[in-house]
Structure 1
């Protein structure tokens, strides 16, 4: 990476080390988000853990899943103290009340969370607002500090909102819609008072081909023009031509298609 890249990442490290504010570190693919995360251990004096919404994302980030670290039940979290029965008779919802009584943290997880100053969440585009509020309640309980978001622990949220969105079913949104205008992480009640420090890494370093970078950016922004289409069509191959290609990587949308291949 060049000097401009390092300056951006050093600025992000300074925000982590010198503030307690929640931080949203974002940027396009190839701008250095993963590099920053992997070098965090030598850039910060703070004790931290890394979590992610899914197993694949957690493996990539060398962390653990949110549900595993915080022992969250499957379902939707309602950010209230009362039992969920006050809001719905549907299965799959829980509140602060049920989280504390029916799903307590074990000693190991309590010990880990009590020791940290910084919580890092990777692939935050997939993180639902209600799950972030569940994390907030867990951290407040563990730290014994209900006056500050996340019990006084700083959160570093890393991801790209142009990538995978949070998944919420219609019947869940019918209930969650009473508390959230959308399910994106930044709608979490925990962030209402604190706000977010927004840091964007805006230069792509993974890819050097300027024509390809421009094409990717146009696709990302849904602004493809005729020249972009022409460039893509140059690489089109028929099914017969594909058979003659060597060392091809096939990208599919579903597991069953990958299994068939």
Structure 2
């Protein structure tokens, strides 16, 4: 295992990094504030010490903005050339292989050892399967062409966006046979690091699951306050 500072990591985070340094695909899940983005940055550090090229991507541009510019984060749609997803997997693979305008995409695929995809709740079954096909240009015998893939996110957050025009039904990536075969390792981060108020942590957890207790309802009511009249008027105009 690569040598790196593990002092500030909890047991779940350390286990996740063991999978990463071992070259395994990984699904890293956890609610807001559990240190997923922090861990992604540690993954990049590990890849660097191991001489591996790591690509940091996400399903949205906003999620990409969380990461330092020097990591050159970009959407998975841009990284893979999939774009708005109008082409099916076989057609997308053919385009990337034969269209000179996709040379940068081919270079990224062939030069990437580890691919991180953040906000994976919005990563659809169709997109996952198309990504697999495109990456197989690197090595058709291996899942994702042999690229180590790390999915990061929380499946109770935003779901994939359906698009009837491009035959995107909005199925989750975990509904794909490729997901079940290629991602045997799952780590769920449970310790909320960002927020220390236990009542607030539990309230956020319950709301995200849609199972709100009386205590959470009481906490929310305690936070109720009248809005300043002038400000409220401004917001309504």
Compute the TM-score of the two structures, normalised by the length of structure 2. 0.81
- How many Å apart are 1:104 and its aligned residue? 5.7
1:1-261 pair list within 5 angstroms: 5-20=9-24, 22-44=25-47, 45=50, 46-62=52-68, 63-79=73-89, 81=90, 95-97=92-94, 100-101=97-98, 105-106=102-103, 108-141=104-137, 143=138, 145-170=139-164, 172=166, 175=167, 183-240=171-228, 243=231
Gaps of 5+ in 1: 82-93, 245-256
Distance between the aligned counterparts of 1:209 and 1:193, measured in 2? 39
Compute the TM-score of the two structures, normalised by the length of structure 1. 0.74
Distance between the aligned counterparts of 1:242 and 1:234, measured in 2? 23
Distance between the aligned counterparts of 2:202 and 2:8, measured in 1? 20
- Number of aligned residue pairs: give it: 223
Q: Is the 8 A contact 1:73 1:103 kept in 2?
A: no
Output the aligned Cα RMSD.
2.8
- How many Å apart are 1:74 and its aligned residue? 1.9
Distance between the aligned counterparts of 2:92 and 2:108, measured in 1? 23
Identify if the C-alpha distance between structure 1 residues 222 and 193 changes in structure 2 by more than 3 Å, giving closer, same or farther. closer
The alignment partner of 1:39 has SS state of helix
- How many Å apart are 1:190 and its aligned residue? 3.2
Gaps of 5+ in 2: 1-5
For 1:88-128, what per-residue CA distance to the aligned partner results, in whole angstroms no more than 9, with x for missing partners? Answer: xxxxxx5544554568621x332332122111101111111
The alignment partner of 1:13 has SS state of helix
Q: Which moved more, 1:95-104 or 1:223-232?
A: 95-104
Distance between the aligned counterparts of 1:212 and 1:3, measured in 2? 27
Distance between the aligned counterparts of 2:202 and 2:187, measured in 1? 22
Identify if the C-alpha distance between structure 1 residues 163 and 50 changes in structure 2 by more than 3 Å, giving closer, same or farther. same
Quote the residue 2:3 is aligned against.
none
- How many Å apart are 1:77 and its aligned residue? 4.4
- How many Å apart are 1:197 and its aligned residue? 0.9
Distance between the aligned counterparts of 1:31 and 1:224, measured in 2? 20
Identify if the C-alpha distance between structure 1 residues 229 and 201 changes in structure 2 by more than 3 Å, giving closer, same or farther. same
- How many Å apart are 1:60 and its aligned residue? 1.6
The alignment partner of 1:157 has SS state of strand
